[in-house]
Each structure stands twice: as C-alpha cells, then as structure tokens.
Amino acid sequence: MKDYLEFFGLRDDPFKITPDASYFFLSESHQEALSSLRYLLETEEGFAVVIGEPGTGKTLTVRKFIDELPPNEVRFAYVLFPNLSPEELFEAILEDFGIKSEGETKNRLFARLRDLLIEEREAGKKVLIIIDEAQNLPTETLEELRILSNLETGDQKLLQIILLGQPELEEKLNSRELRQLKQRITVFVKLRNFTEEETKAYIDYRIVKAGRGNVRINPGTYRLVYRYSLGIPRLINILMERALMAGFVDTTHEIKPEHVKRAGESIGIRVGGENTLRTLLYAGIGGLLIAGALLMGAGKLMDYISLKSAQSIAHIPAKVIGGQDIQRSIKTGGRVIVSVPMLNMRESPDRNAPVVYVLREGDELRVLEKGPETWLKVLFSNGDIEVKGWVNGKYVRD
Ligand SMILES: Nc1ncnc2c1ncn2[C@@H]1O[C@H](COP(=O)(O)OP(=O)(O)OP(=O)(O)O)[C@@H](O)[C@H]1O
Ligand SMILES: [Mg+2]
C-alpha cells in the first residue's frame, strides 16, 4: 500500500492528515495563535478563543502548545466532542484529572472542581482546560464555564480556558446570552488559510520533514494545489498525498499539475467551486473521500487508494456497493433512501460535475426525474434546507 513512499525515497508519509506536532509549520497565522496561547498562560488571564474553518490547524496548534507545556508547572484537561451538558463537561474535566465522579449533582461537581483548582494552586501549579470543537458546546455549558473561570483566590484566577472552534463558535459567542463570557475573552485569534507562498513553503517543508527523497514538484503544481485547496492545510495534504500516488502510478518523480488534477477529481474538487469545497469541508473530508471513491469507480489511481485507506482516515465504516437492480423499482415522484455513509449530490448527471450537497446514509430523497444511466434527479429537504441535484441511483434504496 505504501510502496509509493519507497519509490520516492521517503521515510514517512509527508502528507498524512493526523495531527502530528512534529510536522508543525509556522505560518504567520499559526505563529500568532501559538504565541497568543503562550501569552494567555503567562498572564493567567481568563479565556482564549481560537477560531478557524475545518482543517485550518486548530487541533494541531493546540497539540504543539501542549507539547511545550512545562510538565511540573501546568496541569491541563483536554476535552473533545463537547456536546455536553454542564454536568457532563464537569465530569469529563474531572475524569481527565483522574477523579471519578459519576451521577453527582452540578453543585457537587462544581465544588469538586473548585477544590481541585485550589489544591493545584497551593501546589504552585497552573490549571488549563482546553476544549476542542467548542462550537458544539451548548450555550448553557459555555455559561457554566464562564462561572467556573471566575473562581479566584486573592486576585489570582484559578484556571484558564482555551476554546477551539469553527466559525460557528464565534457566532455563538456573539449571542446576547453569552455577552458576559465574551467580555472575559482576553485572547481571540483566527487561523486563516495559507497564502500561495505559504502553501508552497508548507508543501516543501513537509516533504523535507519526511526525508526529502527524490520528489520533484513542478512549479505549476504548487499553484494548482493552492487553487484547489484555498490554502487549507488538510485539503493540501489530501491533494498532495493523492498527487504523489498519481505520480507513482505514472512512475515519475516529478509531481505535475495533471497529478493534482487527478487527485482533485478523485475527491470531487473542481477549480473555482469555492462553495462546493466548503460544503465538502463541513460535511467532513472523511465522508467525502468515501463518497468520491464510491462514485469514481476503480480508475487507475484508485487501485492505489483503496476504500480501506479512505476508511481509516474517515473512521467511518465504508461499504462497497455492488451493482444493484433497484433501478427498475424506482419511480418518479417516489421516495428513496441513501444507502452509503455519504453520497455526493451533483449539479448534473455526471460524476465530474460540481457537488452541490453531501448526503448522509438514511437521508430521504424525492425522485424528481430519472436521468441517463443510473442517475436520478432528486430533492432533499430536512426543514432547514432544500436542495435539488443528481445522485447515482446505485447508492440509494427504496
Ligand atoms: N500549521 C500546520 N503545520 C503542519 N500541518 C498542519 C498545520 N495546520 C494544519 N495542518 C495539517 O492539517 C490537518 C488538519 O489540521 P487540524 O486537525 O488541526 O484542523 P482543525 O482546524 O482542528 O480542523 P477541524 O475544525 O476539522 O477540527 C492536520 O492534521 C495537519 O496534518
Ligand atoms: Mg480539530
């Protein structure tokens, strides 16, 4: 599976998308985020908020920050998937500090946290609570966090809180209910996408980190990766990894724009389709890979990018769907259900057409029209949104 690394003489996969702090690239924006977090720790001020679109490097930045924390001076709790009530969040934090506290009341949990904070302070330690994906925190829980952050002895705060989240978090913080919390924010940074120069430097940096090998990048390649990815690191990684695989398939050490094009096609990216790209990003790249893989069929490139690799990135069970003859039973005006984990809805009945929406398994669609081959024009609505587009009928059931 990883023969291509050997072919390029690389020690390691330069564009793996797991957050590995040893690959941390200091763009201006990441540098600013990192220094702001260090500043928060030094000044012992209340809240830091880091906002960035999916894949811009929030999690990796905080990993890097954590790696550098002086172990004897700071204790921290790191909470992920925080769609949690105040009680659940307090329990999760306590658990991270090694304290079991199931089924206790909110007041009791709060008291326990307070005691822990006082103890740590007396032992001369700072306490840090880091909440990733904080856009999922309910308003009520955010408000409880603020109350917790008010705890102090003398005039010293007992803890500092770092919230990392997608732009939705900023919207939440602007709401009336959370205006008090907003006033407590002392560090507010936004991670921005890489510029074109940064994209180039980033690609070179990661290749060098992975051993340099004999990879050559055609100048046009950088430009195209930048256009496709809009400078979002996670997308750069996905594109570059696939472009390398495409180069390997062509047995060339020079990665050319055509390899990037093939990489882009395999995940449904088209130039200029910024909205499409954002839809895909928010729908989750993992799902996108699977949907892309399922829709693309087995091209030459796909031989090397098995569904399994998409699956391991996505943590979603991928299903391989065989040709089905449900087509005959599908009727215009009827309803069908998406039968794969994610399914791209496209602008026209063509697997290269721009993606207008990413459907999930179980979504119900109304069939508006039967198109060429197995294509179906469908309507999806769920109260909030209503979208029309084309899906491949192989991946739905009735
Ligand atoms: N500054 C950087 N240096 C090196 N790699 C980076 C950097 N920023 C992002 N990446 C790469 O992009 C991937 C995505 O970054 P990360 O998971 O931190 O994004 P995120 O902002 O937390 O996204 P999400 O909102 O989806 O959680 C990382 O795993 C890493 O491979
Ligand atoms: Mg993250």
CATH number at residue 220: 1.10.8
Whether 283 is in a domain gets the answer no
95 and 9 in a common domain:
no
Report the pLDDT value the prediction gives residue 2, as an integer from 0 to 100: 60
Does ligand 1 lie within 6 Å of residue 234's CB atom? Answer: yes
217 and 87 in a common domain:
no
155 and 70 in a common domain:
yes
AA identity, residue 55: G
Please say if the pLDDT value at position 188 is more than 90. yes
Last residue of a domain, one of 167, 190, 213: 190
Ligand having the closest approach to the CA of 78: 2
| Euclidean distance between CA atoms 239 and 21, whole angstroms | 20
Digit-coded pLDDT (tens) for 134-179: 999 999 999 999 999 988 877 788 999 999 999 999 999 999 999 9
174 and 85 in a common domain:
yes
Last residue of a domain, one of 266, 297, 313: 266
Backbone angles phi, psi at 208, to 5 degrees: -60, -45
Whether 296 is in a domain gets the answer no
Report the pLDDT value the prediction gives residue 112, as an integer from 0 to 100: 94
DSSP 8-state class, residue 298: S
Last residue of a domain, one of 190, 221, 238: 190
180 and 34 in a common domain:
yes
73 and 43 in a common domain:
yes
219 and 131 in a common domain:
no
Atom of ligand 1 nearest to the CA of 57: 18
Tell the residue nearest (CA) to atom 29 of ligand 1. 19
CA distances 257 to 13, 136, 247, 294, Å, are 20, 38, 10, 24
Q: Average pLDDT, stretch 269-292?
A: 52
Does ligand 1 lie within 6 Å of residue 60's CB atom? Answer: yes
Could you tell me which residue, 296 or 382, shows the higher pLDDT?
Answer: 382
Ligand having the closest approach to the CA of 21: 1
Residues 25 and 250: beta-carbon distance below 8 Å: no
Pocket test for ligand 1, best of 234, 241, 280 (most atoms within 8 A of CB): 234
Whether 272 is in a domain gets the answer no
CATH assignment of the domain containing 346? 2.30.30.40
State the DSSP H helix or E strand holding residue 229, giving kind and residue range, or none if neither: helix 219-229
| Euclidean distance between CA atoms 255 and 237, whole angstroms | 14
124 and 82 in a common domain:
yes
Distance 132 CA to ligand 2 centre (A): 6
Report the pLDDT value the prediction gives residue 319, as an integer from 0 to 100: 26
35 and 169 in a common domain:
yes
Tell the residue nearest (CA) to atom 18 of ligand 1. 57
Ligand having the closest approach to the CA of 63: 1
Whether 309 is in a domain gets the answer no
| Euclidean distance between CA atoms 202 and 243, whole angstroms | 15
Beta strand pairing status for 375-381 and 364-370?
Answer: antiparallel
| Euclidean distance between CA atoms 29 and 284, whole angstroms | 23
Atom of ligand 1 nearest to the CA of 234: 12
Distance 15 CA to ligand 2 centre (A): 17
Pocket test for ligand 1, best of 15, 29, 35, 56 (most atoms within 8 A of CB): 56
| Euclidean distance between CA atoms 204 and 118, whole angstroms | 47
CATH assignment of the domain containing 173? 3.40.50.300
**Range(s) of the domain holding residue 376:** 326-397
Digit-coded pLDDT (tens) for 281-293: 665 554 444 444 4
Tell the residue nearest (CA) to atom 9 of ligand 1. 57
Closest by Cα among 239, 242, 251, 317 to 281? 239
Digit-coded pLDDT (tens) for 378-398: 998 876 667 889 998 888 888
212 and 127 in a common domain:
no
Please state the domain count of the chain. Answer: 3
Beta strand pairing status for 47-51 and 185-190?
Answer: parallel
Could you tell me which residue, 277 or 138, shows the higher pLDDT?
Answer: 138
345 and 218 in a common domain:
no
Report the pLDDT value the prediction gives residue 15, as an integer from 0 to 100: 95
Point out which residues pair with 391 in neighbouring strands: 376
In terms of C-beta distances under 8 Å and separation of at least 24 residues, what long-range contacts does 257-262 make, across chains too? 257/218, 257/220, 257/221, 257/223, 257/224, 259/221, 260/221, 260/224, 260/225, 260/228, 261/224, 262/301
Report the pLDDT value the prediction gives residue 293, as an integer from 0 to 100: 40
Atom of ligand 1 nearest to the CA of 281: 26
Whether 364 is in a domain gets the answer yes
186 and 56 in a common domain:
yes
- Overall pTM > 0.85: no
Closest by Cα among 277, 296, 234, 236 to 260? 236
Whether 128 is in a domain gets the answer yes
Whether 97 is in a domain gets the answer yes
Please say if the pLDDT value at position 297 is more than 60. no
Residues 395 and 338: beta-carbon distance below 8 Å: yes
Whether 166 is in a domain gets the answer yes
Task: State the sign of the Cα–Cα–Cα–Cα dihedral 299, 224, 351, 324.
Answer: positive
Report the pLDDT value the prediction gives residue 30, as an integer from 0 to 100: 97
Q: Average pLDDT, stretch 125-140?
A: 94
